[in-house]
Structure 1
Amino acid sequence: MVIFTLSVFFCYVEEAHGVYIRGVEVPVEAQAGKDVSLRCWVNPWPGQLYSLAWWKDGAQFYRSTATTSSVALVSLFPLPGLTLKEGSGGLGHVVLERVRVAATGSYTCEAVADFPSFSQHLVPANLTIVDPPDTGPLIAGYKIRYYPGEVLAASCTILRAHPVPAVSWFINSHQVEEGRQEVVEVNPEVDLTFTTTSKLTLRLKRHHFINDVINLTCGAQVGQRLWTSTTITTHRARPHKHTRPRKHHDLHATTPIPRQRRPQQQRPTEINFEKDEAAIQQPAGEDLSHVVGTGSVQFHYGWVVLVSTLVCAVLWA
């Protein structure tokens, strides 16, 4: 990832006679691990310059003092998080080597005139060190499939970045303006970076699905120029199909059904009163059920009527 270094150049003009700083050059942003050059230009004036110094957040780290000779005495004062070396660009030029996030701050160039005025002029400028996140944004909490009308809730975490990133959400490359977006957590790390978590809550509508697909993107802008993003894909869910009852031929096609035997209808027993020796010799009162309908012993209905008539005549007599 390439970060372009922007420089700010300030020009000042003073009507009154005295020392004044024509301008300073301080990058607005610089990438962590790179060298940063600071410059301070002082306009020539009739008097002698007593000193030219650089300060960071109120602490001096560079000082050039006039001497009796034409060569100035340059002193460097180490500060936590800064590695310094004198620049080759002349008075007021200093280089910050392999800057870290700790180099972020307010830098001020100070010019002081010599005796008798000891007039002073200060020009400040801010420097921000941009440290990219360890990885791309991490999206979590989403589902693989959604129905229209469901609520999509997802989180996006940017690990160890400086400065605090600005998080944006996109659906199918269009920035999400609806729903609820909020930064739920910003945790400072020991190296002065930040881990940031953003959450999106959005009720999905039909227009969010393009060809039944949603491309959800979380993007993070770190500083003015650095952009990183991650995209995940989720799909539209389909309603479950209800199982229809199988037709008869479908059942036969898969599982054979055993045929059930129809109960056989019993034919009415034909009673025959033909005389048979075995039937005649049957003792009175003995059950003849084992004889009826078997072999040649069959009884005719006419004999039953005759016997019944005789019994009735006896009873009436």
Structure 2
Amino acid sequence: IIKMWHNTKITASTWRRFIGVGVILQIIANCGLGTLALRNVTLIVDPPAVRRSHNAKLLCLYDLEGAPLYSVKFYRGLREFYRYLPSETPKNKIFPFPGIHVDYTLSNASQVVIRNVGFGLSGNFSCEVSADAPSFSTAMADIQMQVVELPDKQPSLWTEHDRYEPGDVLRANCTCPPSRPKAELTITLNNIVL
């Protein structure tokens, strides 16, 4: 057989058939692994706008499609602050990060709860999910978290006089307590926006 192989001429069409069969075998192999693949990784901030000094829940949703979970990692910017590894004891690991106070008891493979959120945490958060053998696939999702401060009182309206006649000049001031982002004030007179 070896002698026959050496005497056989390999033409361009033979190479094309050989490569075609190789591509088909690779597609079949990938489809077999595709049944155990990681899909639909999504990150949600709850609530969508987090009030300063309140808690934020980061929900990392994913579909392993039957593959075993290797790890889930949460990042603020490029820096990891929480990791879940089901194969280790303890499964949860928290990394120091200024301003991030993870609630260990409420955090797991699909969520991290951050207590007492401050303005410095406004910005990009991401979660990275990795499946274990045989697929070893990894996917990541990210989201912007906004930390807000609502005004502690209603806006106040001051006018120069208590009564006005048609043709009088109206001087008024509308003031809102501090907030972040800044409150947008709109003044209306007789249902007309000024």
Same fold judged by TM-score > 0.5?
Answer: yes
- CA distance 1:33–1:119, change in 2 (3 Å): same
Q: Secondary structure at the match of 1:160?
A: coil
Partner of 2:185: 167
Partner of 1:122: 140
- How much does 1:161 deviate? 0.6
Structure 1 residues 16-95: aligned runs within 5 Å: 17=34, 18-27=37-46, 28-45=48-65, 47-67=67-87, 73-88=91-106, 90-95=108-113
Match of residue 157, structure 2, among 139, 144, 161: 139
In structure 1, distance between residues paired with 2:160 and 2:96? 49
In structure 2, distance between residues paired with 1:61 and 1:25? 17
In structure 1, distance between residues paired with 2:112 and 2:146? 17
Q: Secondary structure at the match of 2:171?
A: strand
- CA distance 1:158–1:77, change in 2 (3 Å): farther
Partner of 1:183: none
Whether the aligned pair in 1 keeps the contact of 2:85 and 2:91 (CA below 8 Å) is yes
Q: Where is the helix percentage greater, Structure 1 or Structure 2? A: 2
1:40-98 C-alpha deviation (Å, 9 max, x unpaired): 2332345443321112233322112353x6x5632222333332122446313211112
- CA distance 1:106–1:55, change in 2 (3 Å): same
Unaligned 5+ runs, structure 2: 1-30
- CA distance 1:140–1:29, change in 2 (3 Å): same
Structure with greater Cα Rg:
1
Structure 1 residues 223-234: aligned runs within 5 Å: none
Question: Which protein, 1 or 2, shows the higher relative CO under an 8 Å CA cutoff with sep ≥ 6?
Answer: 2
Q: Secondary structure at the match of 2:120?
A: helix
In structure 2, distance between residues paired with 1:142 and 1:50? 68
Taking only the aligned residue pairs, the percentage that are identical comes to 25
In structure 2, distance between residues paired with 1:77 and 1:163? 30
Is residue 105 of structure 1 aligned with residue 123 of structure 2?
yes
What letter is aligned with 2:45?
A: V
What letter is aligned with 1:81?
A: G
What letter is aligned with 2:96?
A: P
In structure 1, distance between residues paired with 2:158 and 2:149? 23
Whether the aligned pair in 2 keeps the contact of 1:50 and 1:112 (CA below 8 Å) is yes
In structure 1, distance between residues paired with 2:77 and 2:179? 22
In structure 2, distance between residues paired with 1:120 and 1:55? 15
RMSD of aligned residue pairs (Cα, Å): 3.2
- How much does 1:100 deviate? 3.0
Q: Secondary structure at the match of 2:176?
A: strand
- CA distance 1:83–1:169, change in 2 (3 Å): same
Count of residues in Structure 1 that have an aligned counterpart in Structure 2: 160
